[in-house]
Structure 1
Amino acid sequence: MKTFLLALAAVTLVLVGVLAGPPLRVALASWQDAPEPAAEGGGAKAQLWQSGMHPWIITTEPGNCPICGMKLEPIDPAKLTGEIAIDPVVVQNIGVRTAPVVRGPAVATLRTVGTVEVAEPNVHDVNLRVSGWIVDLFVDYEGAEVAAGDELFTLYSPQLYAAAEEFLLAAGGGSADDPLRGSARDRLLNLGLTESQVDALREAGTTERNMPVVSPATGTVTEKMVNEGMNVQPGMRVFRIVDLSTVWVQVTLYESQLSGVEVGQPATLTVASLPGETFEGELSFIDPTLDPRTRAVQARLVFENPGNRLKPGMFADVTLRNVLAEEAVLAPREAVVKTGARELAFVAKGGGRFDPREVETAGDVADGRVRIASGLEPGENVVTSGQFLLDSEASVRASLARMVGGEGGVRARVPRPLGGGSGEAGNPQFLEDVAPGREETVPLAKAYLQLQTNLTRNEPAGAPAVAEAARSLAAASDGRTAELAAAVAESADRVPADADLATVRGSFEAISLAAVELFEAAPPAGVGPLAVAHCPMVDKDWLQAGAAIRNPYDPSMLTCGTVLRTLPEGAADAR
């Protein structure tokens, strides 16, 4: 039966060859590099023609596609350059916006959230050093504002009264430098009276039964622990007074945010309850140890608090500013597009023309900008929206330029007969050498073919090697190649390393379909013709080397299947 089909195919080809003539002869040809024909006038590039359905079909003469028969379309010479040209109307419709590249100070900003707290040095406690009773309480509620020296209450203390009498007795006789007089004065100070109170007592010459106790600082009473008539003992805290003219703000800084953060760095603060108001302060402390669980450190900022408008316990938005450089080239952050390992920006040239530039950045800065180390100059306008459309257009043009000759210039690809250099007719087959060989896809192709061979031997090994090779290819490539390699890796990663034969076979078709799409776009150099085959028994496809059927889905039917098509073969020296 197979012999009959082959004979029938041969007769059909002969008849079509007689009827079709040149189109068939082109279809049974492969491509080779040839010198680019000289253009008229000696300056312009030669016109090239391409198949819309099979873009790797490129020729120097008009005609029809040797695969599908569709008419070849002329290639715009501008597409073979790095510059992108788009109709200005289309540019306006897709909303392409631009912004200038400028030179200015590079200021890094770090935004975080903190909590307003009382500044610990501004906390003052009123503690008694003698026992007694509260007689008159002048500050009788928490939240009261007091000034340094204001009377808080009067205290009746027999111990304090006796010490005051002794002082007056010593002060009434003897000289000013009398040791007894100095000792009596020191005793009053140690019992809690202030210098001014002792001086006032000496000038008055009489002792009050109830001694006033004054505030040690200006601030707000946050704790009141006594009432009138209450008995108090030494060491008892009766008031806490807090000066809120300066507050602390505690923030959490994660390990990744610590670069460029240092003590003394200026900061600004805003709170939701005071819209439009900004408070100025600085970073005063960074915890020297990092929490191993959260990978973060605590930091403290100090802010002036005029009018006590910042209340302890408030949440605050904090912005730290750090001047990285007095002058730097700055571009909008949206203008830089990351494509794999590269960063691109599109420079607007006017009239719908854009120049893709590979740039090197040196970190984000304030105002939504990024520092440019190389690739852009001040005064150039860069695209800030619609870059992905331009990026896809640039990828298409870069691929087209590589297909017709790479970076060294356009090379025409002209047909040569199959079967040998003599021009004699060979066996009918699909086109060869229609796309440049890709050395970087060779490891993945070999890993895939090894997996296919293993399955024909009922061996499940090989999927992890395919996944590893695909990931390496995706990391080393960009554009469409990187996307397709990532798809292969994703399919192969679904197969566990210790998967059984049934599991590997169940995932093999997904790996194969992704591999077919990749090797069509980037054929491996020197690997040989790769054929897409189909098994009618399980209705699944696979990729194999050569046309001899080797069915990986059921080795008991090793030769069951049909070759659907052969992928374009990349020449070993194409790159």
Structure 2
Amino acid sequence: MKKSGISTKLFVAVALLVALAGGYYLGGLRHVGNDEHAGHGHEASPEANVQYTCGMHPFIIQDEPGICPICNMKLTPMKQGTGSGGAQPVATGERKIKYWQAPMDPTYIRDEPGKSPMGMDLVPVYEDVVSGGGIQIDPVTTQNMGVRTEIVSRRDLSRTVRTLGLVTYDEPRQFSVNSKIEGWVERLYVNEDGRQVKKGQPLMEIYSPELVAAQNEYLLALQNSRRLSQSPFGEIAESSRRLLDASRTRLKYWDISDKQISALEQSGEVSKTLTLYSSYSGVVTMKKVVEGMRVMAGEELLQISDISKVWVNADIYEYELPWVKVGQTAQVELPFAPDRKLEGKISYIYPYLQSETRTVKARIEFPNPGQELKPDMYANIRIATGAVQGALAIPENAVLNSGKGQTVFVAMGEGRFEPRSVKTGVSDDSGYVQILSGLSEGDAVVVSAQFMLDSESKLREAIQKMIAPKSQQPSGQASAETTPELNDLFDEKPAPKQEELDDLFK
């Protein structure tokens, strides 16, 4: 038993010695490799300096071909002079420096060389270099993304505004009937809403004590004037005539017609009630009086509206307002007669917005002899707007709306794209939008996959502001960040102490 325990300890000790010897051997290989790498680092050929990057993620830079760890796309070789900021030369020959820029802060720009606020040398930016907001993507990647462009050109823009409208009353043709005296309604001739009335038609009979007294005064003034008309004193005759005129005027102010006054003069008898006649033709749209009720002076009794001519108020949304003008022709389709179209002119556009619908009312006037158009009826409206001649236009889907502004991407050639801020105008039915500023005729704008270009441009700008370009980093720093440290894999272990070995052989 004791001999077997000693054999086991000897086997464990031999295995430990073999493992330590292997570690020392690998450590020696590591040091040799580092020494060889250091000895030949300055003698690398130009091909060894070629770096590889991802067309979609330019901050991924490696010293050898491979696959992008983000999108799994094949890395492509970088052009000479390409930095991580995305600016690349686009022309050969003599180059002119446009300005000097801080490598860590693209917004720090100077007209001459110097130091940045972080103590780094300013780098030149040439006139033939893509602007800092632009990006460059490999042509193969551009094709895979499905990037399509369209040339900015001039064209005529037209739009047909389709909306809903509401038939309403012609406001100047609405009238109110009221009593100018206090009294009681003895008889009501028009006793229902919707009743057609004509001008001069009797509406109601009113009994008023004041009216009876006014008739008596007029009859007395009439008799007195007749008796004194032959008086030798001219002043007395003139005074009686003025009193008669004042009594007549009082009756007329209470809506007593000349015909009724003539009948009063001929009969010489006071009438208990006075008949009120309609001064307008139309339809009774509101009736507030009933037979037998007491009415006060100035109280509204009836409303009469003339619907021989009506309005149609069309709802125009805010973005359609630039297209709609006074005088344009509008077609109105009625729900009950879809095959029939009425044509009218826009006579007025209201200067305020409806808070409930966020629309502006456009008034269209129509004659309505047969009363086919009835107030509060809905109608479908089509407004043929005037065309904008020779407008600089691009497809609507080429514009990116960020809330702060509008941006398009312009293709500069050779896979380079530049974002441009634009100001847009009206848009037509064909999907084109007017460009007021920011583009020129002949520019090629991106009409598909521009959202990917926008995200790439913003990502590159953020990377450019956060980290220095790789060419500005100290030698060896990039490899220390991107290459695994071999020291972590092959750390040298200290040799075991003599006491530990003695314990194994006890």
- TM-score w.r.t. the length of structure 1 is 0.45
Larger radius of gyration: 2
Higher RCO by CA contacts (8 Å cutoff, separation 6 or greater): 2
- TM-score w.r.t. the length of structure 2 is 0.49
